[in-house]
DNA sequence: TTAATAGTGTCTGTGAGACAATATGTC
DNA sequence: GACATATTGTCTCACAGACACTATTAA
């Protein structure tokens, strides 16, 4: 928040008090791009809108900020994530905000978009009062603009695009994909998650070196996986934040 | 923006129409972290608040979204940047949003923060109606919490901190500091800008190689700089976006 | 000729990418 | 023992970091 008195148009009604600025207030919402890895693909959760505007169309899960219940934006996002996906401690990161006069026919609106990474194993989708349906969509198919695909509500396609871009970008140098898998997971599984998100193969040897050097994995015993030699299972040492692998530029360890 | 009907408290008045949701709307503002390089230091612009809340304290330039004038958030940020600093085509990037019940005594509020990079050469500060004063502050001094320093208004210190962090982080692998200098600039000047932002020396040879390989500089003739051998001047090939230098991970040129 | 800065060249260690070899489990 | 996957090892080469050298101007 900030300064109080930008130029007011003289035709507007007089301010009633410094305590409550009389600027017309935009609608304020929070939307979520919830990612997971399912069926060897990067997927995200959408809900079908039951009411106007954009009734019947798919949209990101989200909704209005409830100033009586939500202490702040992050708490609002957590609440909606709980309501829609029943998740407790996911990775949650702010993606940015989108606001303007035309994105919602009900008026000038601004949404605060968050990106969440969750494992999908044994998950049951819950529906909000306004969502007549919810389903997972492959990110690439959604953005490819396949013929016959319905457009998303509002400007949600732009938000999804930003989310996918942010995720792909960060996966290049962080341990983020680990948040997409149920624990314990194995290194080959983690590698597959990287490959699915990045859309390209990753070298096995370098991958292992990198992950283990990151020091964010804790051994959790061998995990029999049907076929042959059982791989080592791992858990995250901390769910607080992803590990950032060294970047370019600057003295060796100082990135 | 998003779904319409999250749980409403039953004590609230009934919705008058789907067209205008009756959720109490948070105050909505835009704030700017305006960076420049002056006196061999990374500095940012603050304005002194003339009215409550936080009257007399320094704050980020910004203010309420004017839904009659601002087509979207970015336009609102551009307008405020024009009003405060009189800049036309700066680098402008969204930093994130901060919202909650307690950050503004007037009520639940959310701000959309933007970061701007501008050259300071020959600039004249302009003041909004609510800013009785404006001045440049060194980023490091501001965040060091020097004894005697007054705290910033609202949660602006957190926003400044995020801005400095984002800038420093991106400078490691982008051409962003070029937006801090007036054109034409020389490679030694650009290098000094990098060093000032990063707070550490940078090797000359590697720096030149990297910059020229980036392909974002256009020669603009020799620029006499008082002392001895005149260096080559450069302009940006494009002011649209910074160049991203190659990262780690992945096939050689594919970062 | 000297001073001061601009600009280039060279050496070297690190580390990622590519690929090969080995280990360890089930059938 | 055969097979499939997990895990480890080795080789190579590009590149960044460090540092030395040359170039070009004014006085």
Q: Which of B6, B99, B129 has the CB atom closest to A64's CB atom?
A: B6
Res B90: pLDDT: 84
Give strand D nucleotides closer than 7 A to any protein Cβ. 3-10, 14-20, 23-26
Res A125: pLDDT: 60
Cis bond before residue A133 (omega within 30° of 0): no
A63 in Cβ contact with A130 (< 8 Å): yes
For the segment B113-166, what is each residue's pLDDT rounded down to a tens digit?
A: 999 999 987 565 665 544 458 899 999 999 997 766 789 999 999 999 999 999
Q: Residues of A with CB below 8 A from B65's CB?
A: 23, 26, 99, 108, 110
Nearest nt by C1' to B230 Cα: D25
Q: What angle do CA A155, A111, B115 make, to 5 degrees?
A: 100
For the segment A123-176, what is each residue's pLDDT rounded down to a tens digit?
A: 656 655 444 588 999 999 999 977 667 899 999 999 999 999 999 999 988 999
Res B125: pLDDT: 60
Using 70 as the pLDDT threshold, list the residues of chain A that sit under it.
1-21, 89, 122-132, 147-148, 226-227, 247-255
Number of A:B CB contacts under 8 A? 252
Residues whose CB falls within 8 Å of the CB of residue A117, separated by 6 or more in sequence, listed in order: A35, A36, A90, A91, A167, A176, A179, A180
- Residue-wise DSSP of A198-238: HTS---HHHHHHHHHHHT-EEEEEE---SSSSPPEEEEES-
Res A93: pLDDT: 97
Flag whether pLDDT at B169 surpasses 80.
Answer: yes
Helix (H, G, I), strand (E, B) or coil at B236: strand
Cα(A57)–Cα(A34) distance, rounded to whole angstroms? 18
Res B84: pLDDT: 83
Q: Is the CB of B209 under 7 A from strand D?
A: yes
For the segment B179-219, what is each residue's pLDDT rounded down to a tens digit?
A: 999 999 999 999 999 999 999 999 999 999 999 999 999 99
Cα(B220)–Cα(B178) distance, rounded to whole angstroms? 14
- Return phi, psi of residue B228, to 5°: -120, -115
Cα(B248)–Cα(A210) distance, rounded to whole angstroms? 11
Nearest to A223 by CA among A177, A186, A170: A186
Q: Which of B29, B100, B154 has the CB atom closest to A73's CB atom?
A: B100
Res B71: pLDDT: 97
Residue B17 contacts A, CB cutoff 8 Å: no
Residues 145-184 of B with CB under 8 A from A: 153-156, 172-173
A113 in Cβ contact with A154 (< 8 Å): no
Bridge partners, residue A97, by sequence: A112
pTM of the model: 0.87
For the segment B61-108, what is each residue's pLDDT rounded down to a tens digit?
A: 999 999 999 999 999 999 999 988 877 768 999 999 999 999 999 999
Q: Is the CB of A235 under 7 A from strand C?
A: no
Cα(A226)–Cα(A160) distance, rounded to whole angstroms? 36
Alpha helical stretches, state H, chain A: 73-85, 139-144, 156-171, 187-198, 204-214
Res B246: pLDDT: 74
Cα–Cα distances in Å, from B234 out to A65, B58, B188, B189, B218? 48, 36, 11, 10, 5
Helix (H, G, I), strand (E, B) or coil at B166: helix
A8 in Cβ contact with B133 (< 8 Å): no
Residue B9 contacts A, CB cutoff 8 Å: yes
């Amino acid at each position: 928040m900030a300064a109080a008195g930008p130029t007011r148009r003289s035709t507007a009604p007089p301010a009633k008090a410094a305590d409550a600025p009389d600027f017309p207030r935009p609608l304020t919402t929070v939307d979520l791009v919830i990612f997971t890895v399912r069926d060897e693909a990067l997927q995200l959760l959408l809900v079908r809108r039951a009411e106007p505007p954009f009734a019947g169309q798919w949209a990101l899960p989200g909704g209005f900020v409830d100033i009586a219940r939500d202490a702040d934006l992050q708490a609002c996002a957590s609440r909606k994530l709980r309501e829609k996906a029943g998740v407790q401690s996911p990775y949650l990161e702010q993606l940015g905000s989108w606001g303007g006069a035309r994105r919602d026919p009900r008026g000038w609106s601004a949404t605060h978009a968050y990106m969440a990474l969750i494992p999908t194993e044994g998950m049951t989708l819950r529906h909000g009062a306004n969502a007549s349906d919810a389903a997972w969509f492959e990110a690439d198919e959604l953005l490819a603009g396949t013929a016959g695909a319905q457009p998303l509500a509002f400007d949600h396609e732009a938000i999804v695009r930003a989310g996918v871009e942010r995720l792909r970008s960060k996966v290049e140098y962080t341990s983020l994909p680990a948040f997409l898998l149920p624990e314990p997971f194995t290194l080959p599984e983690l590698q597959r998650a990287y490959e699915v998100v990045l859309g390209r193969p990753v070298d096995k040897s370098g991958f292992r070196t990198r992950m283990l050097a990151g020091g964010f994995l804790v051994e959790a015993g061998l995990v029999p996986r049907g076929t042959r030699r059982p791989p080592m299972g791992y858990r995250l040492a901390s769910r607080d934040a992803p590990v950032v692998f060294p970047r370019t530029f600057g003295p060796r360890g100082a990135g």
